Structure 1
Amino acid sequence: MRLVKIDDLNGSEVLAVPIMSAKDQVLIQSDTVLRGEYIDKLRKYNIPSVYIKDDVKFDVEATLQNSKKVVESILERHIYKHNDELKRIGEQANKIIDSVLSEPEVLESVTDIRNISTDMYSHCINVCVLSTILALRLKMNERQVRNVSMGAILHDIGLKYIQVPYIDISVSQMRASDVPEYKKHTIYGYSSIQEEEWISDVSKEIILLHHEQVDGEGFPFKQKGDKLKSEVKIVSICDDYDSLISGIGNKKIKVYQAIEYIRVNAGKKYDSTIAAKFLETIAWYPVGIKVVLNDGDVGIVIRQNKDSTDRPVIKMLTHADGSEYNPQTEIDLLKKLTLFVVDTL
């Protein structure tokens, strides 16, 4: 999947992402063959480029690793409101969009996006990927997806400007004097880029408001859900999820515990529709993670069941008594309904 200028279309391409008007009405549905009349329509609405389907593949893992290096190198040197290099981070957001779009299986369930290091840079990349996937699954148009991705990759830039500890500690566990300073990171982040014309107003709102909640109990302004854009709500839920499993501004917990937290707070902290789509997308037990079953046996997740992300396929390793499985055995939890995961290792 790639971005093509309107003038370069030959009339046989297939649209990958729906075209929307300025009022978010669908002009052309995805999967439409872009014949001449559609190309004329795009020109009429002054749409400069579109995503089309093709066979080009991106190495998703390599893209994420490189993006993390770029984000880290830039933000390590970044000084407040000296933003010339930040455009390169925006370029990484575009590369992540292209990479995610090129791999349809990434959209089915996020199994490999796991934050094994607790640093802000990995966190920003993970939130960008998760938010991009969620925006696409919610059928957002190309402009909205780009706003989400740009806001997500820069959402925590304000953490560069605070001095209080925030790794593996939740707000409720911080010293009382540290809490107000920590909560200012959204304002610091927004004010550092608010004059930048290459960042959309929606992306700037994401940086400022990603800690707001639909029930009005977030920060910095306690805005309720009806005042928050969908793009902000998307990054909010992805940020909270990755913060919980990476320990950025939260006490670090396990993946399935973070998913349960999101599930319990759907409709409270998070928009119900967005939370439902998020829970459909995220794998409770990512590929490669060791799990303990209710009978005490231990295995490793090797595949996901598309429509039941809480019941993966497991390669069994040891019995409850510690003895190894022999011969090798795979168990599909969707078929063995008496078995279920009780913990991860």
Structure 2
Amino acid sequence: MDLAYLWFFLIGVLFVGYFVLDGFDFGVGMSLPFLGKDEVSRRQVINTIGPVWDLNETWMIVAGACLFAAFPEWYATLFSGFYLALLLILLTLIARGVSFEYRHQRESLRWKRGFDSLIVIGSAVPALLWGVAVGNIVQGVPLDADHEFTGSLLTLLNPYGLWVGLTTLFLFWLHGVYFVSLKTDGEVYERARTLSARLALPAVVFAAGTVVWTIVLAAGRDAPLLWAVIASGAVAAVALLASVAFGRIGRDGRAFASGAITIVFAVLTLWLALFPYVLPATTDPAYSLTIDNASSTDYTLTIMSWAALIFLPLVLLYQGWTYWVFRKRVTRARIAQADAAAVH
């Protein structure tokens, strides 16, 4: 069963990649009303993620596909029990993607403002609900003897799940504002600096609460990797404080990098607290899904391992190349020049 444990952590890595990359997309989208005070500045904000947002979302697709192949029992219980929450995430992601493509199709201010609102909603709702979903996976949900979810959508809206959801919302928002600071100039850059300072306190408070609460949960069920949970949570806290400090002194690149490290170790803290379960049962521990009883056969996992070894480096190289190509700042002057060229 060694491959099953390997794939448990590989799927964790895929979700880490998704939350780091699409996390700043969500943050940029949530920042639009605060940073975009006119059409040029709104385009400036949106264009920071224009070339990469859809590429970032592929991490979610790959993570879901690997979850289906490696842990079919986990996938079946999770996607049936969390159906409404995940459907809401999907619908808002679709609305956000449509808005990116359609907002510029008409010059009508009402048309653009409508799609801008969908960008905000399509960023904030997934940022919150992904945290709620992961929080419930770590805390556990009511399952019966057949590993079927016996709760409802309201069951997921419990104190810990909501707290983790607010943590991801504020961490992603802060992460996105740092990305805007890294990629823009002028008034948008100054507004981003101001907004990041305002978001720092709630981000730190909710993140600290999540770390402490998660450690208490892990200790309560005698998690075998409790020491790693504590260490990972400490690293996440230090990285978050470092990102806030770098943001205050205008070291935009270091602030963004520290924010990314914060999300990496925050997700790792939750994942380590979950081990060796994949979905604990709050009704009876015997009904819980574990790495052992939820995984596919060794043959399936072996094929998946070889495929990941071949294709994952290629995906990483392609994504790295994309970010390198679009590494320059999105300046207000460049957008004005593009508009002038379009007129002529």
TM-score in terms of structure 2 length: 0.26
TM-score in terms of structure 1 length: 0.26
Task: Give 1 or 2: higher strand fraction.
Answer: 1
Q: Which has the higher contact order (CA 8 A, sep 6+)?
A: 2
Task: Give 1 or 2: higher helix fraction.
Answer: 2
